Amino acid sequence: MTTDYASARETTEGRVFTVTGGDWDTVVNEAGSEERIVVNMGPQHPSTHGVLRLVLELEGETVTEARTVVGYLHTGIEKNLEFRNWTQGTTFVTRMDYLAPMFNETGYCLAVEKLLGIEDQITERAKTLRVLMMELNRISSHLVWLATTGMELGALSMMIYGFREREYILDIFELASGLRMNHAYIRPGGLAQDLPEEAAAKIRELLGWMPDRIDMYEDLLSGNTIWRERTQGVAVLDVTGCLALGITGPVLRSAGLAWDLRKTQPYAGYETYDFNVPTEPTGDAWGRYKVRLNEMRESLKIIQQAMDRLEPGPIMIGDRKIAWPAQLAIGGDGLGNSLEHVAKIMGQSMEALIHHFKLVTEGFRVPAGQVYVPIEAPRGELGVHAISDGGTRPYRVHYREPSFINLQAIPAMAEGGLLADVIVGGASLDPVMGGCDR
């Protein structure tokens, strides 16, 4: 460095320059006009939807490179399944995508039932209640997306409204299963317990006022100039990009392709329900918002049809070699089985008591083989690849989790855009890191 713009003095640490002025623009140009910064976004919850880490390379406010780093929430659920019997597996899988526990359980149970060859033995009431619970869960999941995305983009009221309605749905889940989340309600062969009348009454109430609430969300957001500018034309991913990356769910449908496994590869009796598959042509964050809003409306239609066809009947298959005891009665303290329920079990024959003990402790055997069962979860195709070696425990269970697959889209949506739009793009994918890492 010359002393044209600075005086120099010698110190014990070497020569020190004191800059007093000069042509700053000339100095910057000589140093190079490009200023590249590498930023760690996460891993933390605000604005990254869970413990997701994004490594971003920036030129000013423009993202030139984006990399996703996952694994911070890894729980080893798939490995744990290998050390529990087939029915106990539902207690683990329900904890993966913690916003869509009913879907985790249903996919797993459909795979176990396919391995057992008992798909046609599942009772109508059990199938109807599974659909009912999944569609309630779809609405509650989309509400969390709408609430958190609203908060991240500054629409704080949406956060309050979204969680308010979700709490009501969690109350229904609690009445049906005893738990608000992580239910283990859907079991191989049927359900853990029947739907109480109190829960059915709350569902009917929900059907009465929820359509107006969805309209209210749309009134709150769709006409808002800030919301439009932050979502329209932002984080665009067209249908070609979705197919190349394996993206499914609302993100794919927001690009114009009406691919929904409930229609294209029906399961759980979905082919008997009348509903539409919402799509949008834009392929941006705005389109994903519109698709999820309309999906909530379609879910309400399915719930209404399920309630109309809900006839009394058994909720577990009749094969006592597979069926875990349903209709468990809880003790007065809310912990464990009631004395009356224990007395009923003990009061049967000794053979029945021994069978009950072996079924609960060891579990049933599943014929050797492997299956892949896909279902339409709130974030896209949730696939279960289950392998049995003929024992009482899974040999291997692997989930094709939509959050994990969809996160591949972040570089495609973020690179070339602004740093602020990374938040919008990541949020519009609706990733849940419990499902991604599992």
CA dist 5 and 17 (Å) reads 9
Amino acid in position 189: G
Alpha-carbon distances of 405 from 82, 244, 413, rounded to whole Å: 24, 11, 14
Tell me the one-letter amino acid at 313: G
Q: Mark which of 68, 88, 112 sits at the end of a domain.
A: 68
- In a domain, residue 137? The reply is yes
What letters, b where the CB count within 10 A reaches 16 and e where it falls short, cover 41-80? Answer: bbbeeebbbbbbbbebebeeeebeebebebeebeeebbeb
- Please report, for residues 177, 180, 343, 411, the alpha-carbon distance to residue 332 in angstroms, rounded to integers and kept in the order given: 16, 19, 15, 54
Which is nearest to 152 in space by CA: 266, 19, 306, 49?
49
Per-residue pLDDT of the chain (438 residues; tens, 9 = 90+): 455 556 777 887 677 766 544 454 554 455 444 567 777 777 765 445 678 888 888 888 888 888 888 888 888 898 999 998 888 889 999 988 889 999 999 999 999 999 998 888 888 999 999 999 999 999 999 999 999 888 888 888 899 999 999 999 999 999 888 888 888 889 998 888 888 889 999 999 999 999 999 999 999 888 888 888 888 888 888 899 889 999 998 999 999 888 989 999 999 889 999 999 999 898 889 999 999 999 999 999 999 999 999 888 888 887 777 777 655 566 666 566 667 767 776 666 666 677 777 777 778 888 999 999 999 999 999 999 999 998 889 999 999 999 899 988 888 888 888 888 888 888 888 888 888 888
Both 316 and 420 in one domain: the answer is yes
Q: Is residue 340 part of a domain?
A: no
State whether 292 and 306 are in the same domain. yes
Which of 68, 83, 111 is the C-terminal boundary of a domain?
68
Q: Answer yes or no: do 26 and 165 share one domain.
A: no
What pLDDT, on a 0 to 100 scale, did the predictor assign at position 55? 81
| 333 occurs within a structural domain | no
- 182 plus 34 within the same structural domain: no
Q: Check residue 59 and give its pLDDT.
A: 81
Q: CA 237: distance to chain centroid?
A: 20
327: left (phi over 0), alpha (psi -120 to 50) or beta: left
In this structure, are 312 and 398 located in the same domain?
A: yes
Q: DSSP for 348-414, please give it.
A: S-HHHHHHHHHHHHT-----SEEEEEEEEETTEEEEEEEEE-SSSS-SEEEEE-HHHHHTTHHHHHH
**Domain-embedded: residue 355:** no
| Residue 383: per-residue pLDDT | 92
Give me the torsion for CA of 156, 157, 163, 165, rounded to 10°. -160
307 occurs within a structural domain:
yes
Angstrom distance (rounded) from CA 151 to CA 221: 12
Q: Is 414 exposed, middle or buried (0-12, 13-18, 19+ CB in 10 A)?
A: buried
Do 77 and 397 contact (CB within 8 A), yes or no?
Answer: no
- Is 76 a domain residue? yes
Count of domains forming the chain = 2
> Distance between CA 359 and CA 326 in Å, rounded?
13
Are 93 and 50 in a shared domain? no
Q: Do 244 and 371 share a domain, yes or no?
A: yes
Identify whether 334 is part of a domain: no
Residues 253 and 267 in one domain: yes
What CATH number corresponds to the domain at position 423? 1.10.645.10
- Whether residue 43 has a cis bond before it, omega within 30° of 0: yes
424/310 same-domain check: yes
Choosing from 43, 68, 93, the residue where a domain stops is: 68
Using DSSP bridges, classify how beta strands 14-19 and 190-191 pair: parallel, antiparallel or unpaired.
Answer: unpaired
Neighbours of 221 (CB within 10 A): 22
Residues 116 and 22 in one domain: no
- Examine the domain organization and report whether 59 and 149 are in the same domain: no
The predicted pLDDT at position 233 comes to: 86
| Residue 38 belongs to domain spanning | 6-68
If asked whether residues 55 and 106 sit together in one domain, one would say: no
Dist CA 250 CA 280 (whole Å): 9
Residue 19: what pLDDT? 53
Let me know if residue 359 belongs to a domain. no
CA angle 262, 52, 395 (to 5 degrees): 55
CA distance 292 to 325: 37
Q: How far apart are CA 268 and CA 286, in angstroms?
A: 31
> How distant, in Å, are the alpha carbons of 69, 136, 141, 242, 285 from that of 237?
21, 28, 22, 7, 9
DSSP string, 194-213: PPPHHHHHHHHHHHHHHHHH
